[in-house]
C-alpha cells in the first residue's frame, strides 16, 4: 500500500462487508494495532522521506486512523441495533417452558435411621420426648443414681460450662424430666438426641454422637416385655431373620442390667471378620429401671416398675448399612452420603 488514502479505502470496504463483532474486531487489529498493523507499517518508512514530505504523510495517516476508527464505531453501532431488533426472536425466553430440574439433596443417613426407629416405636404406642443438651449435674448424674465419686462418672464427667452445668452424656435426663412432667404412669417414651462424652475419635466412637433411649413405666413389666419390644424393633429395622440376646451387665440406673446384642448381618451369626468371629454385634444397654430412679422421677416404685434401654443411632446405622467407621457419618464426603 503506497499511501494512507488507499489504505483507508481498503479498510472501509472491509468494515462494510463485516457481519459480526468478531470480524469487526479482526479488522481493527489488522489495521490499527501498534505493532505490525498496516497503518503503523506504513508510518515505519516515514524516516526515509524528505523532510517536506514527512509532515504530509503524518497528517494523512492521522486522518486515515480517525476515518477507520469512526467506521468501526459506526459498524459496531449498526450490529448492536440489528441484534436488539432481532432479540425477540433470537434471544426470546419462553417463561411457560419447564425449567431444568433442581439438584435436591436428601436426609442424612443418621436422620433416616432415627426417623425409622421413631416410626417403629411410635407404632407400638411410644411417644417422642426431647430435652436440653445442656443439663444440670443432678439430672445428668444424681437423678440417675450416679452420685459424686461414683466410678461411672469417670468417662462421662466432662464438658462442663459451670460446676453445675455440662453437656449431657446421654439422653437419660429426659426420662427423669418426662416422669416429673407426666407424673402418673403408664409412661412409654423414646428420647432421641445428641450426647457428648470424653472419648478420643476412632472407628467406633466419637466425643459427640446421637442416642435414642426408651422408657416404659407400667405395672408388672418384666424383662420378657423389654426383650420382646427390642426384638420387634430390631427385626423391623434389620429384617425378621435377625436374632437378639441379652447378657448380664451393670448400669447404675437399672437393676438388673443387660448388654443387648444382635446377630451379625454379614455372616448371619456364623462368625466373620466384621463381628470378630463371634456372630453377634453389641448394640447397647438395657435393664429394669432402678427403684431410686423412679423415686427421683416422682414415681412410686412400690406401685410401678419399668424398663429402659439406650442405643447409639450411629451404631444402629452402622449395623443397618454395614459401615465399619463411625467417622464417615460426619466427614461430609458426598461419595459416602449419596449411597443413602
Question: How many angstroms separate the CA atoms of 3 and 57, rounded?
Answer: 8
The residue with cell 442424612 is 108
From residue 4, alpha-carbon distances to 11, 13, 116, 120, 328 in Å are 10, 14, 85, 91, 74
**Grid cell 429402659 — which residue?**
308
DSSP 10-25: HHHHHHHH--SHHHHH
The tally of CA atoms less than 13 A away on the side-chain side of residue 333 is 8
Res 1: pLDDT = 42
Q: DSSP states of 242-253 as a string?
A: --EEEEEEEETT
Provide the residue-wise pLDDT of the chain in tens; the chain has 340 residues. Answer: 457 788 888 888 888 888 898 998 998 888 888 777 787 777 776 666 677 676 777 777 788 888 888 988 998 999 888 888 777 666 667 778 888 888 888 999 999 999 999 999 999 999 999 999 999 999 999 999 999 888 888 877 788 999 999 999 999 999 999 999 998 999 999 999 999 998 888 888 889 999 999 999 999 999 999 999 999 999 998 888 888 899 999 999 999 999 999 888 778 778 877 677 888 888 889 999 999 999 999 999 999 999 999 999 998 898 888 888 899 999 989 999 999 8
Cis peptide before 17 (omega within 30 of 0): no
Give the pLDDT confidence score for residue 299 in this predicted structure: 95
Taking the C-alpha atoms of residue 56 and residue 49, their distance in angstroms, rounded to an integer, is 11
Give the count of beta carbons closer than 10 Å to the beta carbon of residue 91.
Answer: 9
φ and ψ at residue 271, rounded to 5 degrees: 110, 125
Torsion angle in degrees (nearest 10) through CA of 130, 133, 138, 141: 90
Look at residue 275 in the predicted model and tell me its pLDDT: 74
Measured CA to CA in angstroms, residue 79 lies from 11, 18, 48, 73 at distances of 17, 9, 41, 10
SS3 content of the chain, % helix, strand, coil (to 5): 45, 20, 35
Task: Output the CA torsion sign for 22, 28, 30, 34.
Answer: negative
Amino acid at each position: 500500500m503506497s499511501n494512507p488514502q488507499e489504505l483507508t479505502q481498503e479498510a472501509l470496504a472491509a468494515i462494510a462487508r463485516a457481519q459480526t463483532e468478531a470480524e469487526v474486531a479482526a479488522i481493527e487489529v489488522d489495521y490499527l494495532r501498534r505493532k505490525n498493523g498496516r497503518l503503523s507499517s506504513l508510518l515505519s518508512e516515514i524516516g526515509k522521506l524528505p523532510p517536506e514530505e514527512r509532515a504530509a504523510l503524518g497528517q494523512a495517516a492521522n486522518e486515515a486512523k480517525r476515518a477507520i476508527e469512526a467506521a468501526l464505531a459506526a459498524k459496531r453501532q449498526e450490529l448492536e441495533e440489528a441484534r436488539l431488533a432481532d432479540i425477540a426472536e433470537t434471544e426470546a425466553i419462553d417463561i411457560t417452558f419447564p425449567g431444568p430440574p433442581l439438584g435436591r439433596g436428601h436426609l442424612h443417613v443418621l436422620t433416616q435411621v432415627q426417623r425409622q426407629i421413631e416410626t417403629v416405636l411410635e407404632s407400638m404406642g411410644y411417644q417422642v420426648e426431647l430435652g436440653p443438651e445442656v443439663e444440670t449435674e443432678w439430672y445428668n448424674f444424681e437423678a440417675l443414681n450416679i452420685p459424686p465419686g461414683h466410678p461411672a462418672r469417670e468417662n462421662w464427667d466432662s464438658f462442663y460450662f459451670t460446676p453445675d452445668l455440662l453437656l449431657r452424656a446421654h439422653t437419660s435426663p429426659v426420662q427423669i424430666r418426662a416422669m416429673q412432667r407426666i407424673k402418673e404412669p403408664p409412661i412409654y417414651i423414646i428420647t432421641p438426641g445428641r450426647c457428648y462424652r470424653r472419648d478420643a475419635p476412632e472407628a467406633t466412637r466419637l466425643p459427640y454422637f446421637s442416642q435414642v433411649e426408651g422408657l416404659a413405666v407400667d405395672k408388672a413389666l418384666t424383662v420378657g416385655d423389654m426383650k420382646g419390644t427390642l426384638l420387634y424393633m430390631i427385626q423391623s429395622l434389620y429384617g425378621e431373620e435377625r436374632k437378639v440376646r441379652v447378657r448380664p451387665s451393670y448400669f447404675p440406673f437399672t437393676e438388673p442390667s443387660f448388654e443387648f446384642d444382635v446377630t451379625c448381618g454379614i455372616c448371619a451369626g456364623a462368625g466373620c471378620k466384621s463381628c470378630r468371629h463371634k456372630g453377634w454385634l453389641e448394640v447397647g444397654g438395657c435393664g429394669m429401671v432402678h427403684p431410686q430412679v423412679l423415686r427421683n422421677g416422682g414415681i412410686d416404685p412400690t406401685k410401678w416398675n419399668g424398663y429402659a434401654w439406650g442405643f447409639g443411632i450411629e451404631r444402629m446405622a452402622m449395623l443397618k448399612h454395614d459401615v465399619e467407621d463411625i467417622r464417615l457419618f460426619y466427614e461430609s464426603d458426598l461419595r459416602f452420603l449419596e449411597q443413602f
